[in-house]
Amino acid sequence: MRSDQLRIRPVTRKLISDVTEISRAAHGQGRDRVDDGTSPPVIITTVFREIGATGVHTHFHQVARYLETSGTRVSIVTPFSSARLLTYPVFAPRPVLQKVYPAAGVFWYRHWHEVFLRNAIRRRLATVDDCVVYAQGPLEARAALQTRRGPHQRVIMAVHFRGSQADEHTEPGRELKRDGYFFRSIRKLEREVILNLDGIVYVADWARQMVLKWLPEARTIPSAIIGNFVDPLLIDPDAERVADLVTTGRLEDRKNHRFLLEVLRQANDAGHRLTLDIFGDGPLKHELEQLARSLAVADQVCFRGFRSDVRDFLPRYRAYVHAAYAEVLPLAVIEGMAAGLPVVAADSGGVGELFDDGVEGRFWSLDDPNEATRVLLDLLSSEAGRAKAASAALDRFHREYDVSILGPRLRSFLLGSNSGVTE
């Protein structure tokens, strides 16, 4: 029954598309704009496949769309942009290595993805003169620095990671030992790369602080703090609700979906039956389904799987809930605010920069499900209060995370002189 409610008719999709085009046109972003030949092309590089479900994918695709509609030529280069057939036998051993020797699996992934990406970038840079390479991480930046034909091909890196990619690989249950050989080698690579960049885009001030904490010399590199952004949504205030709560994200440990199921159980104990839709897929799906049954909340949870059009459904819930551990600036939360939903999330990483407690949503503790449940129920107990927070969340999205606000800033930084350093 609820899956039927989530269907969007083709005519509705067309309406959403038309409204988006009108919004873009109002901000000078119409598709009919053409390159005037005065700005260099932007080459976005990533070790990921071009199509995927991560926040990084959302970021660079959103950036590409904005730049294109603003008259800038854009191309996306990945390790799979050339010699695609050769990638299969080369990348195949990695899962085996990951099980036998996890650190070796990390090395294999990083080494060969960079090798293939470097070759693809070399071919692309040979076809252009002045350009900007917008690298989505240190490996991408190093590949560009090693293959560019001179300083006229500038390399700017986005910081999506939490201080260092080495740190992300040392989280509980991950592959590397802190301060071990592989950890040190990643830090060494990042130091060399960052100090040779033409610019850095930090998607959150927290990300900048984390980088400067271990690499204070990065302060000398021209930089800007420009948050993630997305297109606005068409919101139908009369759309039927399909559940109380919604969350999106890959079903893996760091997204902490177990916590959300425990909150549902605690709410039941308090006499409040809440429903939750989870969008996303991943290795923990079966385990989470079992946990939902053991907590007696299986009939309150719907695992929706991965949907590329998930943002279209978000306005049909009462609140967006987020239980992931420290993230830089989660696009999932921004998407929830764009849908006009109040947000409940932990004040960790860059999340605290997205909204204020008691205004656009509430902060909850991931260490105490009982207290977290109280915070959530307090938000939902008054429809007037919930609606006020929802309105505030939407207003803040339009003020701070709308593509029309941040898109021009990013374009200016990528194509400008980058002479200023953000402090």
How many CB atoms are closer than 10 A to CB 153?
Answer: 21
> What is the average pLDDT score of the chain?
89
With beta carbons less than 8 A apart as the criterion, state whether 307 and 278 touch. Answer: no
Q: What is the pLDDT of residues 39-60, one digit of tens each?
A: 899 999 999 999 988 999 999 9
Number of alpha carbons in the 13 Å side-chain half-sphere of residue 380 = 22
Higher local confidence (pLDDT), 89 or 244: 244
Segment among 27-31, 260-264, 329-333, 418-422 with least mean pLDDT: 27-31
CATH topology match: 29-230+403-415 vs 245-400: yes
Contacts of 258 (CB under 8 A, 6+ apart): 288, 291
Helix (H, G, I), strand (E, B), or coil: what is residue 268? helix
Does the pLDDT value for residue 170 go beyond 80? Answer: no
Tell me the residue type at 412.
S
- For residue 238, give both structure tokens: 């009369």
End-to-end Cα distance, the chain: 52
Q: For domain 29-230+403-415, which architecture applies?
A: 3-Layer(aba) Sandwich (3.40)
For residue 420, what pLDDT is reported? Answer: 47
Q: Where are the domains of the chain?
A: 29-230+403-415, 245-400
Is the domain covering 245-400 a CATH 3.40.50.2000 domain? yes
- The helix-helix angle for 138-147 and 102-125 (nearest 10°) equals 40
Q: What is the pLDDT of residues 332-372, one digit of tens each?
A: 999 999 999 999 999 999 999 999 999 999 999 999 999 99
Q: What is the pLDDT of residues 100-127, one digit of tens each?
A: 777 888 889 999 999 999 999 999 999 9
Q: What is the pLDDT of residues 378-408, one digit of tens each?
A: 999 999 999 999 999 999 999 999 999 999 9
d(CA 248, CA 246): 7
For residue 33, what pLDDT is reported? Answer: 36
For residue 95, what pLDDT is reported? Answer: 80
